[in-house]
Amino acid sequence: MNLDAFIEYLKYMWRAKSRHGVHSPFVYDLVTHVLLDKGPIDRTYIVEYPSLPLKYENLISRIAAYYKYKTIHQLPFKGETQIPTNADLLIFNEREPNGWVTMMNEYFYLLGDESAVVVTGIHKTPEHTQGWNKLCTDARVKMSIDVYGIGLLFFKPEFKEQQHFILKY
């Protein structure tokens, strides 16, 4: 862990809330049924992402299972001959922090109201943190959740205001 990542981790630990520190029913439900869940993950929803620590790989799998996300794609697309027409869950690669906003603009059409985006390595370097912050301020993003190793973006129209949460994980 480099110095910037360590400083971001200290900020994260200072600001992160547990499920009792949030006032959103959606986030409380996410914490209770996804972040705190230690049970087995349905094999149908296992997401393999070798560059991530296992706890975050499992978290992405739990999110996919809980929300029943069937179409999961990792960006940028590598070696795929046909670009998909929809996605329940998009995963932005941590090696592309300067391209996250571009990927969001280019592939937003794949997402529906119930879709989500996972962004890996959001605090790895200052560029990663800056890219994450830009994504969080995008007007299309209704809710962002920071769990340090990854960030989650949701687009549900029933979220009337943009909200940002930093959650313990």
Please give the tally of structural domains in the chain.
Answer: 1
Pairing of strands 111-120, 87-92: parallel
Range of the domain at 46: 3-78+85-166
Q: pLDDT tier at 81 (50, 70, 90 boundaries)?
A: low
Q: What angle do CA 107, 108, 112 make, to 5 degrees?
A: 125
Give the tens place of pLDDT for each residue, 116-138.
999 999 999 999 999 999 999 99
123: Cα within 13 Å, side-chain hemisphere: 19
Pairing of strands 163-166, 143-146: parallel
Give exposure, 63-95, as e/b (b: 16+ Cβ within 10 Å). Answer: bbbbbebeebbbbeeeeeeeeeeebbbbbbbbe
Direct distance between the N- and C-terminal alpha carbons of the chain, in angstroms, rounded to an integer: 18
Residue-averaged pLDDT of the chain: 90
What is the rounded distance in angstroms from the CA atom of residue 117 to the CA atom of residue 110? Answer: 11
> In the chain, what's the furthest Cα-to-Cα distance?
46
30: nearest Cα among 143, 149, 162: 143
Q: pLDDT tier at 12 (50, 70, 90 boundaries)?
A: confident
Give the tens place of pLDDT for each residue, 22-37.
788 999 999 999 999 9
